[in-house]
Amino acid sequence: MTHVSAHRVAGKKAFITGAAGGLGAAMARLLARHGAKLFLTDIDEAAVYEVAKAINAEHGDTVAWSAAQNVRDEDRWQSALAEANGVLGGISVLVNNAGIGAIGGVESLQPKEWQRVMGVNLDAVYLGCKYALPLLRQHQPGSIINISSMAAFKVDPDYTVYNASKAAVASLSKSVALDCARQKMDVRCNSIHPSFIRTGIVEPFFEQLGEEEALKKLTRGVPLRRLGDVDDVAYAVLYLASDESRYITAAEFRIDGGASAV
Ligand SMILES: NC(=O)c1ccc[n+]([C@@H]2O[C@H](COP(=O)([O-])OP(=O)(O)OC[C@H]3O[C@@H](n4cnc5c(N)ncnc54)[C@H](O)[C@@H]3O)[C@@H](O)[C@H]2O)c1
């Protein structure tokens, strides 16, 4: 194994969804700092373009590319991956990060809302894995990192579909990992399970409850007694994208200040 210091993912070519802000943008910045090339996508084309532009301003303009992608669109998965494969000269890392939330108990949740959240949080992860694997196979060693949530393990009856989608992502990640292993493919697949981190997805809590109450609610049950930071997740992605984690597959990484232990 070659040991790298600052450039822990030098030579890696990473495709990241939902990279216009929040966790996705943070992991993109960190991977770029550690030598990876990036293809960043999001449904918000203008914002993901700005993320790539800022990375290129820091590291040189052949580090990050951006493109519009609705992860619910199967055809777009295929064309976006082909585009990335072309400009990056291969793909070695896929981060399925795009995700959305929805509030509703079993009876109040509308079927359309169920399908919308499942479409982004689960179906898209399946599509991403399915269409990226042939490319990852050509560019081993590879790593698939699926951003699930602590919600996969800790259920809140107001977040029915979010919980179900994230639990399914954990299971799907293991299927992908075992499928690659039985084919003797050097492509690993793991899921990451963050607790609350202040990004767009948790902003509604702050709008509804105000700063103090929201912080109290979101850190209740977190032994480390604070919200996570986007870089807390980005460092886990950096590790899983690098060859440092070459013996880790089908694992669930809990980035939750100890929350899932209590
Ligand atoms: N922030 C948290 O507390 C937290 C905790 C656990 C898990 N997560 C997960 O982390 C991931 C990133 O979320 P975040 O916290 O950075 O939130 P965010 O809202 O800042 O980022 C999500 C990104 O996904 C994009 N997106 C939404 N729908 C899309 C679609 N159909 N196609 C393509 N892109 C789409 C959005 O435009 C946005 O840029 C999500 O999967 C989320 O469920 C977040």
The string of pLDDT tens digits covering residues 118-140 is 999 999 999 999 999 999 999 99
Q: Annotated catalytic, 247?
A: no
Q: Which helix (H) or strand (E) element contains residue 16?
A: strand 13-16
In a domain, 224, yes or no: no
In a domain, 21, yes or no: yes
What is the reported pLDDT for 4?
A: 45
In a domain, 175, yes or no: yes
Alpha-carbon torsion angle 10, 15, 17, 19, nearest 10? 40
Tokens of 247: 């013996």
The answer, yes or no, to whether any atom of ligand 1 lies below 6 A from the CB of 18, is yes
Distance CA 44, CA 112 (A): 22
From 100, 145, 166, 203, mutation site for ligand 1 pocket: most ligand atoms within 8 A of C-beta: 100
Which residue has better confidence, 5 or 246?
A: 246
In a domain, 5, yes or no: no
What is the reported pLDDT for 3?
A: 46
What is the reported pLDDT for 1?
A: 47
What value does the mean pLDDT of the chain take?
96
**Cα 183 to ligand 1 centroid, rounded to whole Å:** 31
Distance CA 33, CA 49 (A): 18
Which CATH number goes with the domain that contains 117? Answer: 3.40.50.720
Question: How confident is the model over 9-18, as pLDDT tens digits?
Answer: 999 999 999 9
- Number of structural domains the chain divides into: 1
In a domain, 187, yes or no: yes
pTM passes above 0.85: yes
- Among residues 126, 131, 162, 247, the one annotated as catalytic is 162
Mean pLDDT of 173-196: 98
In a domain, 57, yes or no: yes
Amino acid at 159: Y
In a domain, 4, yes or no: no
Distance CA 231, CA 115 (A): 30
Mean pLDDT of 188-208: 94
Alpha-carbon torsion angle 118, 185, 67, 43, nearest 10? 10
Question: How confident is the model over 22-53, as pLDDT tens digits?
Answer: 999 999 999 999 999 999 999 999 999 999 99
In a domain, 144, yes or no: yes
Per the structure, the complete domain to which residue 18 belongs is given by 13-201+229-255
The dihedral built from the CA positions of residue 62, 5, 137 and 174, taken in this order, carries a sign that is: negative
Would you place residue 156 in the very low, low, confident or very high pLDDT band (cuts 50, 70, 90)? very high
Q: Which of 158, 122, 37, 49 is nearest to 86 (CA)?
A: 37
CB 177 within 8 A of CB 248: no
The answer, yes or no, to whether any atom of ligand 1 lies below 6 A from the CB of 22, is yes
**Cα 200 to ligand 1 centroid, rounded to whole Å:** 8
